[in-house]
């Protein structure tokens, strides 16, 4: 008995070590994904690009192939050792990020961003699959939310470190590197943020891979097996897509256009706004992620099967007016003081929404379900349109590329009603899907150590 308890405790500690490593990977991924937002103006100047073309580099190129890579990566995750697949993806995206620094034209940078997005598609399905096997299903929202804190931490790191790198490299002017010759400061930033991933990724081999649950019966399912599940639960997936993909457009508008907004409207330097965004995102984001995960888990424990949707509806109704006020304010300190609410609650949904997907997904489809949700739905729609919509509004509606805060506010005003309608549409089918999945899990699960002890007594 004591040995079993010791093994359970060790497994719990190992699971949280795994989470810590995955969080670090997420931070690196977000840094590599979003540091380009700190480099908008020098890239635009060197390549003579419009904001719309810049939006293609920041969002469309990355998000499109992040989505394209999602299902193949999810299939690999479901069939092969997850640690090896994950490291291969990390090494590839690090090299692709560094290759952005070799670009001498818009087209070359576009291709490098495509490769970065395709390779990063390994992280979410691998992480969600391993976490779902390492923790009890009735407490998934908290560990997946802790992992998802990497998004906020990564955004914070990308602005603080990115701002420092931009400021430091810019002050030195052009660099002359062996074999490469002269490179611009913005190119050096891509080298400095991409290459370390090859070393950091090796940390995944310091922990054991969690044992897969209920996998053998359907190991031979094809790549398209996930679509049978989606067809059978189309109302649930339509709900999740309309709510969280739509709100990721709003989130993307903040991530991609805040740096330019600070520069053009408030006239802050990269070091100034990098620190402001970094502190706001790096503190409010992770805190909100952890808070939301714990709240949703507690609601689930009280028998609220659709806790994720109930919680998020309340969040949107309470926080959206405050966020809109912040975005419309001409006072930089009002903006800084209030925008943390968006980071804490309004756009901070990835943890509990991803846990919701894992609750309804069959065990043999977890990697593909995570890929479908995070890469093909949330990221494709959110990242691509999150960069594009505010740029389009600024250029074609407001005819003003300085008041980007107003463009972001209009983006929120479009997205929130769609998300609320999606919640109203999907609550009942989602609740029924979770209850059905719980029943299947109880029918097929292995008793825990404590339950076995009680039975033997």
- Asked whether residue 451 is assigned to any structural domain, the reply reads no
**Residue 454 maps to a domain:** no
Predicted confidence at residue 444, as pLDDT, reads 58
| Cβ density class 106-122: b for 16+ within 10 Å, e for less | beebbbbbbbbbbbbbb
- Cα(91)–Cα(205) distance, integer angstroms: 14
Tens of pLDDT, residue by residue over 263-292, are: 888 888 877 887 788 777 778 888 888 899
CA within 13 Å, CB half, 95: 9
Decide: 71 and 368 in contact? Cβ < 8 Å.
yes
**Host H or E run for residue 177:** strand 175-177
The span from the CA of 348 to the CA of 292, in Å, is 8
In angstroms, the Cα distances linking 373 to 76, 121, 230, 382, 431 are 16, 11, 11, 12, 18
Give me the phi and psi of 183, to 5 degrees please: -130, 150
174: helix, strand or coil: coil
CB 391 within 8 A of CB 185: no
Place of tokens 């407001």: 398
Q: Give a yes or no: residue 438 inside a domain.
A: yes
- How many structural domains comprise the chain? 1
Is there a domain that residue 456 lies in? Answer: no
pLDDT number for residue 82: 93
Tell me if 361 is assigned to some domain: yes
Can you list the alpha helix ranges (DSSP code H) found in 372-403?
380-392
Supply the DSSP string of 183-242, one letter for each residue.
Answer: E-HHHHHHHHHHTTHHHHGGGGGGSPPPPPSS-GGGTT--TTHHHHHHHHTHHHHHHHII
**197 Cβ contact list (under 8 Å, min separation 6):** 28, 32, 90, 91, 93, 94, 97
Residue 47 pLDDT exceeds 60: yes
State the residue range of the domain holding 158: 8-205+223-445
Classify residue 376: in a domain, yes or no. Answer: yes
Q: Which residue has the tokens 């089918």?
A: 429
pLDDT at position 172 is 74
Residue 187, Ramachandran bin (φ over 0: left; ψ between -120 and 50: alpha; else beta): alpha
Q: Is residue 105 part of a domain?
A: yes
Q: Could you read off the pLDDT of 332-373 as tens digits, one per residue?
A: 899 988 888 888 888 888 889 988 998 888 877 888 888 888
Q: Which two tokens stand for residue 339?
A: 């925008």
d(CA 377, CA 71): 11
For the chain, the average pLDDT equals 83
- The torsion angles phi and psi of 124, rounded to 5 degrees, stand at -65, -50
Q: Is residue 87 part of a domain?
A: yes
What mean pLDDT do residues 397-420 have?
A: 89
Point out the least confidently predicted range of 3-12, 51-60, 357-366, 383-392.
3-12
Q: Which residues contact 199 (CB under 8 A, 6 or more apart)?
A: none
Query: Interior CA angle at 401 toward 397 and 402, to 5°?
Result: 125
Q: Identify the helix (H) or strand (E) that includes residue 406.
A: helix 404-444
SS3 330: coil
Residue showing tokens 């509004």: 393
Rounded CA-CA distance 215/314 in Å is 37
Q: Which two tokens stand for residue 92?
A: 């590839």
* Closest CA relative to residue 129, chosen from 117, 120, 116, 140: 140
Closest CA to 97 of 161, 187, 165: 187
Bridge partner list, 182: 176
Confidence class for position 1, pLDDT limits 50, 70, 90: very low
Specify the CATH number for the domain of residue 377.
1.20.1250.20
Instruction: Answer for the pair 374, 235: CB distance below 8 angstroms, yes or no.
Output: no
Among 60-69, 277-286, 448-457, the least confident range: 448-457
- Spell out the alpha helix ranges (H) of 241-346: 246-264, 270-279, 285-301, 307-328, 332-341
Digit-coded pLDDT (tens) for 19-34:
999 999 999 998 888 8
């Amino acid at each position: 008995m004591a040995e079993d308890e010791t093994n359970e405790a060790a497994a719990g500690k190992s699971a949280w070590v795994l989470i810590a490593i995955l969080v670090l990977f997420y931070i690196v991924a977000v840094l590599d994904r979003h540091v380009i937002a700190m480099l908008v103006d020098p890239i635009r100047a060197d390549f003579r690009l419009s904001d719309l073309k810049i939006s293609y580099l920041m969002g469309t190129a990355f998000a499109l192939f992040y989505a394209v890579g999602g299902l193949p990566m999810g299939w690999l995750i479901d069939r092969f050792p997850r640690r090896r697949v994950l490291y291969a993806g990390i090494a590839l995206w690090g090299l692709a990020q560094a290759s952005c620094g070799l670009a001498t034209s818009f087209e070359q940078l576009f291709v490098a961003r495509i490769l970065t997005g395709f390779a990063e598609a390994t992280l979410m399905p691998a992480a969600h699959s391993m976490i779902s096997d390492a923790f009890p299903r009735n407490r998934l929202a908290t560990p997946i939310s802790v992992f998802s804190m990497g998004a906020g931490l990564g955004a914070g790191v990308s602005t603080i470190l990115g701002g420092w790198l931009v400021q430091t490299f810019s002050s030195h002017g052009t660099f002359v590197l062996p074999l490469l010759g002269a490179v611009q400061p913005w190119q050096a930033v891509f080298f400095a943020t991409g290459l370390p991933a090859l070393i950091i990724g090796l940390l995944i081999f310091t922990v054991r891979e969690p044992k897969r649950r209920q996998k053998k019966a359907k190991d031979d399912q094809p790549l398209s097996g996930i679509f049978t599940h989606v067809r059978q639960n189309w109302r649930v997936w339509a709900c999740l897509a309309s709510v969280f993909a739509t709100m990721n457009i709003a989130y993307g508008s903040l991530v991609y256009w805040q740096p330019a907004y600070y520069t053009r409207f408030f006239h802050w330097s990269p070091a100034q706004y990098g620190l402001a965004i970094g502190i706001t995102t790096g503190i409010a984001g992770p805190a909100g992620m952890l808070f939301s995960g714990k709240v949703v888990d507690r609601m689930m424990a009280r028998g609220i099967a659709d806790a994720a949707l109930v919680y998020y509806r309340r969040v949107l109704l309470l926080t959206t007016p405050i966020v809109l006020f912040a975005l419309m304010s001409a006072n930089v300190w009002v903006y800084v003081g209030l925008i943390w609410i968006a980071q804490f609650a309004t756009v901070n949904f990835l943890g509990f929404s991803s846990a919701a997907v894992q609750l309804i997904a069959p065990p043999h489809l977890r990697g593909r379900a995570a890929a479908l949700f995070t890469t093909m739905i949330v990221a494709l729609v959110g990242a691509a349109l999150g960069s594009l919509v505010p740029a389009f509004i600024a250029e074609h509606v407001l005819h003003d590329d300085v008041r980007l805060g107003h463009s972001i506010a209009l983006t929120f005003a479009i997205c929130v009603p769609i998300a609320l309608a999606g919640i109203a549409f999907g609550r009942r089918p989602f609740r029924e899907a979770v209850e059905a999945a719980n029943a299947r899990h109880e029918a097929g699960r292995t008793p825990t150590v404590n339950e076995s002890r009680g039975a033997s007594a």
